[in-house]
């Protein structure tokens, strides 16, 4: 039995999840994960880092079904929840309820606090500002040292500046919160390190909210402060919400900018087509959906605990068992995306699951989309000679982070 072929049921015989990526194809999901599609079973048991054996949902159709099933819960303290890291498991019981770990009416209450601030309409209004910041950063890049490192020069500053403005967080603190976001997303951190980082970020957000309660601005943290004053929200509830938005709001888009750039630099034909169509917003928007599909940066999501027995795809999934809907597996499911290994910027890919599916689907997806559309429509037009300034083999990919990415991307022009 190989490590990745579907097993017979004994825990030691089950495929190990997650399987390692191939260094020859670091942009693709792990070959061992993709091979599981061949068995034509949309859901199988796997063995994870702590010896538990949750269900892995592979197919695109089955994931859309399970992620909208009210018998699965996002509650990370629930029995059977398949924790991503030892740190998450250690602290699951004391985690504050929030938008990402509640269900049903309780989840809707959290969601309502956020959705108004992140509507497509509101985010579209930010497009000119996103374009201005992108152009400024590229101007600075062109005036600065060549080669340069893309995370520092563009990928991190753009989404960080945007989320800071939306939340009302001072951008001068970016070194501090970017460093802590890196620890938050790391898979191999210790429970102590995770607790210290979370506590530091929560304290930081709580202090900002407190200041905004005296001196409000037009931003999300001020809105949360106003709700605390009204008595409809406590600081213990507000701070984790700000924390999720700050971390998810910059680290994800930043990793997508860097990964997408590196992937395009390897695909000359697709890159040329994108450059030629960079003034066609529909082409660029479609290209971004294909990049999101191909790269599926939340590569270890989405995770749930089953709270009521479910008859699902010929299996009985019992209450108290865990489920992992592997988003990269859905996005490389040949039934949903023929020849998934082919990067095709003209492919109709908008039904990808890179932003998840169902009630927990990403709150910030419109913001992320616009940031990515602006960057990929601008970067290669403004710097047509952009190229990698390191050997591909020397790039360090973030297999050890919950948000896939590349630690450093040296580029030249």
Contact between 63 and 330 (Cβ < 8 Å): yes
Instruction: Report if residue 100 touches ligand HEM, rule: CB under 6 A.
Output: yes
CB of 33 to ligand HEM, least distance (A): 16
97 binds ligand HEM (CB under 6 A): no
Q: CB of residue 354 vs ligand HEM: minimum separation in angstroms? A: 5
Q: Strand pairing partners for 43?
A: 57
In the complex, least distance from residue 348 CB atom to ligand HEM, rounded to whole angstroms: 19
Instruction: Tell whether residue 367 is a contact of ligand HEM (CB under 6 A).
Output: yes
93 neighbors 77 (Cβ within 8 angstroms): yes
154, 244, 271, 323: which one binds ligand HEM (CB under 6 A): 244
Q: How many residues bind ligand HEM (CB under 6 A)?
A: 25
Min separation Cβ 249 and ligand HEM, Å: 4
Which residues are bridge partners to 72 per DSSP? 306
Q: Is 99 in the site for ligand HEM (CB under 6 A)?
A: yes
What gap in Å lies between CA 13 and CA 34, rounded to an integer?
18
Q: Cα–Cα distance between 137 and 408 in angstroms, integer?
A: 17
3-class SS of residue 69 = coil
Nearer of residues 6 and 221 to ligand HEM, judged by Cβ: 221
Site membership for ligand HEM, residue 249 (CB under 6 A): yes
Least distance in angstroms from the C-beta of 401 to ligand HEM: 13
Place of tokens 């970020």: 201
Nearest-5° angle of CA 10, CA 16, CA 21? 165
Contact between 245 and ligand HEM per CB under 6 A: yes
Nearer to ligand HEM, 7 or 329 (CB): 329
Two tokens, residue 369: 């989309």
What is the closest distance, in whole angstroms, from the C-beta atom of residue 344 to ligand HEM in the complex?
A: 20
Find the binder of ligand HEM among 111, 227, 275, 351 (CB under 6 A): 111
Check binding of 298 to ligand HEM (CB under 6 A): yes
Give yes or no for residue 368 binding ligand HEM (CB under 6 A): yes
- The answer to whether 4 and 35 are in contact (CB under 8 A) is yes
Site pattern 122..161 for ligand HEM (x: CB under 6 A) = ----------------------------------------
Quote the least distance from Cβ 285 to ligand HEM, whole Å.
14
In 10 A of CB 146, how many CB atoms?
12
| Element holding 306 (H helix, E strand) | strand 303-306
Give residues with Cβ within 8 angstroms of 17, minimum separation 6.
33, 46, 47, 48, 54, 56, 324, 326
Q: Which of 261, 288, 266, 262 is nearest to 277 (CA)?
A: 288
Q: Which of 23/108 has CB closer to ligand HEM?
A: 108
Query: Which part of the chain contacts ligand HEM (CB under 6 A), choosing from 201-209, 211-219, 243-251, 387-395?
Result: 243-251
Do the strands 55-57 and 410-412 form a parallel or antiparallel pair, or are they unpaired?
A: unpaired
Which neighbouring-strand residues pair with 315?
A: 312
3-class DSSP assignment, residue 341: coil
Q: Which is nearer to ligand HEM, 68 or 146 (CB)?
A: 68
Neighbours of 61 (CB within 10 A): 14
> Which one of the spans 11-19, 123-131, 310-318, 351-359 is the region binding ligand HEM (CB under 6 A)?
351-359
Residue 362 is a binding residue for ligand HEM (CB under 6 A): yes
Q: Which residues would be at the binding site for ligand HEM (CB under 6 A)?
A: 99-100, 111, 163, 244-245, 248-249, 252-253, 256, 297-298, 301-302, 327, 354-356, 360, 362-364, 367-368
């Amino acid at each position: 039995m190989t490590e990745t072929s579907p097993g017979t049921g004994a825990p030691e015989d089950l495929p190990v999840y997650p399987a390692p990526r191939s260094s020859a194809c670091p942009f693709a999901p792990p070959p061992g994960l993709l091979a599981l599609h061949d068995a034509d079973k949309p859901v199988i048991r796997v063995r994870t880092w702590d010896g538990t054996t949750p269900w892995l949902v592979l197919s695109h159709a089955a994931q859309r079904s399970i992620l909208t099933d009210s018998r699965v819960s996002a509650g990370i303290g629930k029995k059977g929840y398949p924790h991503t890291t030892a740190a998450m498991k250690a602290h699951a019981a004391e985690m504050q309820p929030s938008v990402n770990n509640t269900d049903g009416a309780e989840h809707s209450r959290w969601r309502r606090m956020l959705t108004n601030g992140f509507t497509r309409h509101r985010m579209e209004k930010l497009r000119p500002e996103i374009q201005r910041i992108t152009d400024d950063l590229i101007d600075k890049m062109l005036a600065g040292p060549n080669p340069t490192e893309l995370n520092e020069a563009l990928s991190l500053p753009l989404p960080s500046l945007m989320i800071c403005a939306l939340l009302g967080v001072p951008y001068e603190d970016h070194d501090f919160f970017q460093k802590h976001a890196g620890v938050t997303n790391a898979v191999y951190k210790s429970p102590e390190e995770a607790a210290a980082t979370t506590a530091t970020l929560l304290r930081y957000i709580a202090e900002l909210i407190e200041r905004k309660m005296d001196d409000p601005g037009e931003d999300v943290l001020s809105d949360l402060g106003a709700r605390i004053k009204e008595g409809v929200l406590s600081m213990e509830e507000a701070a984790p919400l700000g924390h999720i938005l700050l971390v998810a709001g910059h680290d994800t888009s930043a990793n997508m900018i860097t990964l997408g750039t590196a992937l395009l630099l390897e695909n000359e034909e697709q890159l040329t087509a994108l450059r030629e169509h960079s003034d066609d917003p529909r082409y660029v928007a479609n290209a971004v959906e294909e990049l999101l599909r191909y790269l599926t940066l939340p590569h270890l999501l989405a995770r749930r605990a089953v709270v009521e027995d479910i008859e699902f795809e010929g299996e009985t999934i019992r209450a108290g068992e865990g489920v992992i809907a592997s988003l990269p597996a859905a996005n490389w499911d040949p039934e949903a995306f023929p020849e998934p290994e082919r990067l095709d910027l003209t492919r109709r890919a908008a039904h990808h699951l890179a932003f998840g599916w169902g009630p927990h689907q990403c709150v910030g997806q419109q913001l992320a989309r616009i940031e990515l559309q602006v960057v990929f429509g601008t970067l290669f037009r403004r710097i047509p000679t952009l190229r990698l300034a390191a050997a591909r083999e020397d790039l360090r990919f973030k297999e050890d982070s919950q948000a896939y990415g590349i630690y450093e991307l040296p580029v030249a022009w």
